[in-house]
Amino acid sequence: MKHNFGAGPGILPHEVLKQAAAAVVDFNGIGLSILEISHRSPEFEAVLDEAVKLVKELFSVPEGYSVLFLQGGASTQFAMVPYNLLPEGGKAAYLESGVWANKAIKEVKYFGEAQVVATAKEANFTYIPKDFEIPADAAYFHITSNNTIYGTQLHKFFPSPVPVVCDMSSDIFSRKVNVADFGLIYAGAQKNMGPAGVTLVIVKDEILGKSGRKIPSMFNYQTQIEGGSMYNTPPVFAIYVSMLTLNWLKSKGGVEAIEKENEAKAKVLYDEIDRNPLFKGVCVPEDRSIMNVCFVTENPELEKPFLKLCDEKGIVGIKGHRSAGGFRASIYNALPITSVYVLIDAMREFAENNK
């Protein structure tokens, strides 16, 4: 039994994996694998419809928004967002709260100007900047709701005079959000929603079609909306597993229920970090993420021995990102609190042995 704290592609519910494996051999008893059926078959159309329905239900998506399942990951969205929303010669506002925000900003230059309203770069992205103004003449305001690498999270969103575009890759469906506050939400599936290979986009229809750009079909949200995420062959299996995962989330009581669990998991872990003399948190407490818990040892020589202990206890994926160092425990929706307790026990045992 492994305890999967990996940052992504991350842990998926055991029952989802079992269902997915069965469907790879024989999908719903039709005598064919989910991997070898037409995306235009009634069987797959039902999967896609159900996935869209579950997103709308779990996130209370209001009227006037479209739900898309695309390919290419959040990194493709870094370009598609300005391609669709930024007029020639226009500017967009970006909050540089982490490494992924920084990457998103870099892609804007191909389309226009990115105005960085605030950055936490000087502090190694260990806090969320909150004191800034959003220019009213920006085409949109882009934020990253959770910073996977350094472990900060926006616990409140900012009122904005322009449409808010949010990269929710690493905390989508981990907590309630008010979709109506956003113009566009996107998320690579591979943390809380499904396997790598599919990207969720929730877009307010009325913000589209205003940039005046001619956009190639595949990069154009409008084409994808008109094609119902099937302008071309979609990533069938990744959508299927996402549907199963969303269904699992619904059976757990939905986003409100999982939010309570996620908060409880984060609290016990941060409490241990703050209590344990060998470890300390990386980020300012008020901006700590409930998804990616980053911490370090006071004594860097203890890093390897602690990773070794974790390994012995079946704790995997705990090593910090190569650009951040230390440790990172990603405690996504599917990670049970029992795994968090195993980690806490390991931290205590380690402190006991290294007094």
Binding site for its own copies (CB under 8 A): 1-2, 4, 6-12, 17-18, 20-22, 24-25, 30-33, 35-39, 71-76, 78-79, 83, 106-107, 109-110, 188, 190, 195-198, 214-219, 231-238, 241, 314, 316-317
Q: Does 338 appear as a known binding residue? A: no
Q: DSSP letter for 288, please.
A: B
Q: Does 100 appear as a known binding residue? A: yes
Q: Confirm whether 131 is a catalytic residue.
A: no
The least CB distance from residue 300 to its own copies, in Å, is 22
**CB 120 within 8 Å of CB 101:** no
Find residue 147's DSSP bridge partners: 152
Instruction: Output phi, psi for 187, to 5 deg.
Output: -160, 125
Q: Does 175 appear as a known binding residue? A: no
Name which of 24 and 118 has its Cβ closer to its own copies.
24
- Return the HEC string of 163-211: CEEEECCCCCCCCCCCHHHCCEEEEECCCCCCCCCCEEEEEEHHHCCCC
Chain position carrying tokens 């956009």: 215
Burial of 242-261, coded b for 16+ CB within 10 Å and e otherwise, reads: bbbbbbbbeeeebbeebbeb
Q: Confirm whether 248 is a catalytic residue.
A: no
Q: Does 40 appear as a known binding residue? A: yes
The least CB distance from residue 239 to its own copies, in Å, is 9
- Among the listed residues 100, 171, 265, 287, the single catalytic one is 100
The least CB distance from residue 332 to its own copies, in Å, is 10
Q: Confirm whether 26 is a catalytic residue.
A: no
- Among the listed residues 91, 167, 171, 248, the single catalytic one is 167
**CB 255 within 8 Å of CB 59:** yes
* Rounded CA separation 187/196 (Å): 11
Tokens of 191: 């943390």
Tokens of 329: 């425990």
Name which of 5 and 65 has its Cβ closer to its own copies.
5
Element at 4 (helix H, strand E): strand 3-4
Find residue 119's DSSP bridge partners: 96
Tokens of 56: 């709308």
Q: Does 190 appear as a known binding residue? A: yes
What is the amino acid identity at position 239? I
Name which of 37 and 68 has its Cβ closer to its own copies.
37
Q: Does 170 appear as a known binding residue? A: no
The least CB distance from residue 52 to its own copies, in Å, is 18
Q: Does 75 appear as a known binding residue? A: yes
- Among the listed residues 91, 171, 191, 265, the single catalytic one is 191
The least CB distance from residue 269 to its own copies, in Å, is 20
Q: DSSP letter for 227, please.
A: T
The least CB distance from residue 351 to its own copies, in Å, is 27
Using CA atoms, how far residue 17 sits from 51, 222, 339, 349, in Å, is: 17, 33, 18, 32
Q: Does 167 appear as a known binding residue? A: yes
**CB 327 within 8 Å of CB 5:** no
* Rounded CA separation 332/339 (Å): 11
Name which of 60 and 233 has its Cβ closer to its own copies.
233
Residues marked as binding for pyridoxal 5'-phosphate? 74-75, 100, 148, 167, 190, 232-233
Catalytic residues: 100, 167, 191
Residues marked as binding for L-glutamate? 40
Residues marked as binding? 40, 74-75, 100, 148, 167, 190, 232-233
